Amino acid sequence: MERWVTVTLVTAGYLALSLLVGWISGRRASDTVTGYVAGDRGFGLLVMYFVTGAMMFSAFAFLGTPGWAYSRGAAAFYVFSYGLLGFAPWYFLGPMVARVGRVYGHVTQAELLSHRFQSTTLSVLIAIVSIIAFVPYIALQMKGAGIVFNAVTDGNVPIWVGALAAYAVVLLYVLKSGVLGVGWTNTFQGIFMLIIAWVLGLWLPNHLYGGVGAMFERIAELRPELLTAPGLDANATGSWGWGAYSSAILVSAIGVTMWPHLFMKGFAAKDDETIKLTMVLYPTFLLFLLPLYFIAFAGVLFESKPPSADFILPHMILSTNVAPVVVGLFCAGALAASMSTGDAMLHASASIYVQDMHRRVFDRKLSDHGRRRLIRIVAVIVGVASYYTAVNTEMSLVALLLAAYGAIVQLAPITAAAFFWKRATAAGAVTGLVLGSLVTLLLFQFPQLRPFGLHEGIVGLATNCLALVVVSLATRPLEGQHVDSFIDASRSAV
């Protein structure tokens, strides 16, 4: 049997097992929107740990991070920096979000914020910004899945077919089981991919160089610029300046706790202590990025080059003549990284559209059953849009990720204001979100206009904060009792 056939069969077996886990896990949920979107608020520590970790350990981690380290060296360490910084605020913010959700029945981020500011307009705007940010992030996962399939089957499975196969499975269990399908498949996929990552991350440097230490000694001797932050030397092609490097960390660290699906997992948590303990344990998840860095740096001096940097990991696996079954397991591990992030985003994007836009603008009387059915329809639509983006974009996986963060970080000022500044008004929130998003979009389209090479999202964020403060102070404050009730609910354990 040809190698690529064996690899495909092993990978197909993994996809079938993922579908089984996702399909049966939804049987415990109630037949309500709260059951489908928030898992009846019953996620325990194990599932919370892995659904949170899935936000970091995605196709970006399995392919984009190694590709970035392979091509730019120390620039890739920005992922560690924002990963460690980003979730620290959620230790305090997460329980506050969960408390308000329990009191008022919220299941999405926009529901919470629009309730605080008493603004349907804000709900719709947050839904739009969230979905715009989700599409490139989901596309990143799909493209990563397609790259892996294509590489490990020696090109016999095109990128578009690989992406389609993986996300057909994702769509099936998301449609069937909702957030419980996402949670339990994340747990299964997380355990699987971490084992694969560490096995490969330790084996490759030892096989090629005699160990991790010996590998870095060789790189320090022959390619020292790759070990110097922020990424390549000043004369290297594609180098990052300190402005770009530090602002990429900042926009990602702030943005990571603004992802709507993180809020949705907060609403799904069993209690406040589960959220806090998850945040305490979360940094351990970043240790599993280490083997992926080892793999990437192992490729720096590799005898042959991949077709593009994002292919470095599968390229080395295929070039070292390992058994086809091992290649298939690697493929399954990479797909686990992709699927464990993409499923949560597909589920969240559809839920956000229905709860925060459709129900408020088009059909306020939509029944519980009607909402669940519409969420499933929208999940398919978002999946198709993301798939189209994935197979047609030339952007690297890292570029897709940073584009998504530039959009989602614009939700940070209104979230902070909702809980910590009583004087903030709906007009200020809307104005800040609109102006910040427009500035971010402008600088994304015309990167030459970015000051000091800063990420466009950071410039947009500064504009957003300024507009929020100025307009809030210039407009009439919200009714005091409503704001006090919201703040009190966020502070009091339920």
Q: What is the pLDDT of residues 381-426, one digit of tens each?
A: 888 888 888 777 766 666 667 777 888 889 999 999 999 999 999 9
Domain count, the chain: 1
- For residue 422, being part of any structural domain is answered with no
336 — alpha (psi -120 to 50), left (phi > 0) or beta? alpha
- For residue 28, being part of any structural domain is answered with yes
Task: Name the nearest CA neighbour of 229 among 215, 241, 238.
Answer: 241
pLDDT in tens, 164-173: 887 787 777 7
- For residue 448, being part of any structural domain is answered with no
Task: Name the nearest CA neighbour of 357 among 14, 39, 79, 125.
Answer: 125
Which residues span the domain enclosing 243? 3-407
The sign of the dihedral angle between the CA atoms of 468, 417, 47, 33 is negative
- CA angle at residue 212 from 211 to 214, to 5 degrees? 65
Task: State the distance between the two ends of the chain, measured CA to CA, in whole angstroms.
Answer: 60
Locate 8 and state its tokens. Answer: 């495909």
- For residue 476, being part of any structural domain is answered with no
- For residue 63, being part of any structural domain is answered with yes
- For residue 203, being part of any structural domain is answered with yes
Q: How far is CA 159 from CA 156, 337, 494, in A?
A: 9, 17, 48
Q: 175: domain CATH number? A: 1.20.1730.10
pLDDT in tens, 231-269: 654 444 456 777 778 888 888 888 888 888 788 878 877
- For residue 135, being part of any structural domain is answered with yes
DSSP string across 198-266: HHHHHHHHHHHHSSHHHHHHHHHHH-GGGGSTTSS-TTSTTPPPHHHHHHHHHHHHHHHTT-HHHHHHH
CA–CA dist 365, 375 (Å, integer): 15
Give the DSSP letter of residue 477: P
CB 342 within 8 A of CB 170: yes
- For residue 488, being part of any structural domain is answered with no
Q: Is the pLDDT of residue 493 over 80?
A: no
331-335, 434-438, 470-474: least confidently modelled range: 331-335
